[in-house]
Amino acid sequence: MDAPAKSAETRLEGERAQRILAAMRTSVGTRGTAGSTFDHVAREAGVSRGLLHYYFGSKEQLLVEVVRRDCDARIAVLEERFADADSAEAIVEVLLSQLQALLQDESQSVVYEVLSASRRSDYVRDELAEVYNRWREHLADVLREKERAGVIKPRADAAAVAAVVLALGDGFGLQLVSDPERDASEALEVGITTVRWLLGAE
C-alpha cells in the first residue's frame, strides 16, 4: 500500500485527481461513507475504478485526503482573512464566518463520517489526529502573532485557547447539522461571548 500512496502523492494536483476528490466529497455528503463506493465515485468523477485505486489505494485513503485538502483550503482562507484582523472582534468575525461556511457545504458531513470511520481504523484515526493537530497549531500560531502585535490578550496559553475555540466550533456544527430547524442564535451568542472572553476582549 505504501508504494501506490507515494506514487499518488506526486499526482494529486492533476485534474483527474481533483475530480475524484470532489466526487468523493459530494458522495459522502449525499450517501455517507458506506454508500460512497469506488464504483459510485469513479462514475461521478468520470474515471475508471482502477484509477481510484492507483491514486489512493483504498477508500480510507481517499476519504482522509478529502479531509486533508479541505483543511488546507480552510487554513489558506484563514491566513488571508486573519492578516487583516486588527481586533479581537475581527478575529471572532473570521472564526464565525468559517463556521458558517463549513455548515453550508459537504465538508462538515465528511468530517463526521471520518470521525465515525476513525473508531474502526487506526490509519484513519492517526491521519485525522494529524489534521486536527495542524488545525489547532495554525490557529494557536495566529493567536500568538496577534498577541505579540497587541491585538489580543488571551486568557490562557494560545494552544489551549485554540483547542477550546475549535471545540466550540465542532460542537455547534454538530448540533446545527443534526437539528437545522432549531433556533441556536442565543446559544451561539453565548459561544461568541466565550470566545471574546478567551481572547481577552471582555
pLDDT above 80: residue 152: yes
What's the rounded mean pLDDT across residues 152-180? 89
Nearest alpha-carbon partner for 26 in 189, 128, 35: 35
All domains of the chain in start order, with CATH: 1-57 (1.10.10), 60-198 (1.10.357.10)
Q: Which 3 state secondary structure label does DSSP give 155?
A: coil
pLDDT above 90: residue 157: yes
What is the predicted pLDDT for the residue at 5? 46
Contact 162, 139 (CB under 8 A): yes
Question: What percentage of the chain has pLDDT greater than the value 70?
Answer: 92
Q: How far apart are CA 139 and CA 160, in angstroms?
A: 10
What is the predicted pLDDT for the residue at 156? 95
pLDDT above 90: residue 59: no
Please, where are the H alpha helices in the chain? 2-9, 15-35, 38-45, 49-56, 59-82, 88-103, 107-118, 122-148, 158-178, 185-198
CA distances from 178 to 5, 47, 67, 74, 193 (A): 34, 33, 20, 22, 23
Nearest alpha-carbon partner for 16 in 54, 40, 45: 45
Structure-model confidence comparison of residues 69 and 12, the more confident one = 69
What's the rounded mean pLDDT across residues 78-93? 90
Nearest alpha-carbon partner for 102 in 158, 174, 163, 167: 174
Q: How far apart are CA 124 and CA 157, in angstroms?
A: 29
Range with lowest mean pLDDT among 42-51, 53-62, 95-104: 95-104
Cell 485505486 locates to 53
CB atoms within 10 A of CB 167: 11
What's the rounded mean pLDDT across residues 19-25? 91
What is the predicted pLDDT for the residue at 202? 58
What is the predicted pLDDT for the residue at 149? 94
What's the rounded mean pLDDT across residues 164-176? 86
What's the rounded mean pLDDT across residues 131-150? 93
Give residue-wise pLDDT tens across range 101-118: 777 776 777 888 888 888
pTM of the model as a whole? 0.82
CB atoms within 10 A of CB 51: 15
Contact 45, 20 (CB under 8 A): yes
Structure-model confidence comparison of residues 98 and 108, the more confident one = 98
Structure-model confidence comparison of residues 187 and 8, the more confident one = 187
46 phi-psi bin (left φ>0, alpha ψ -120 to 50, beta other): left
Burial class (CB in 10 A: 0-12, 13-18, 19+), 164: middle
Mean per-residue pLDDT of the chain = 85
